[in-house]
Amino acid sequence: MKNFKEKVVAFLRDEEGLELSEYAVAGSLIVLGTVAAFQLLGGNIATVIDSIADIIVPPAA
């Protein structure tokens, strides 16, 4: 029983899982910010990308 208690205490003190969850939260916030930026600026970004594509490869006549 003492060995089990020691393992539980060691598990609760282990912060490795906490670090992983922090990375997951940070990653999801970055994705959310990127999606929000594309939603707000979507039309402008599409116009710029289209104009760059037209410069690189002229449209077929």
* pLDDT of 5: 83
What are the distances in angstroms from CA 45 to CA 48, 50, 59?
A: 5, 9, 19
Give Dmax (Cα) for the chain. Answer: 81
Concatenated DSSP letters of 4-57: HHHHHHHHHH--HHHHHHHHHHHHHHHHHHHHHHHHHHHHHHHHHHHHHHHHHS
Q: Render pLDDT for 17-48 as a digit per residue (tens, 0 to 9).
A: 667 778 889 999 999 999 998 888 877 888 88
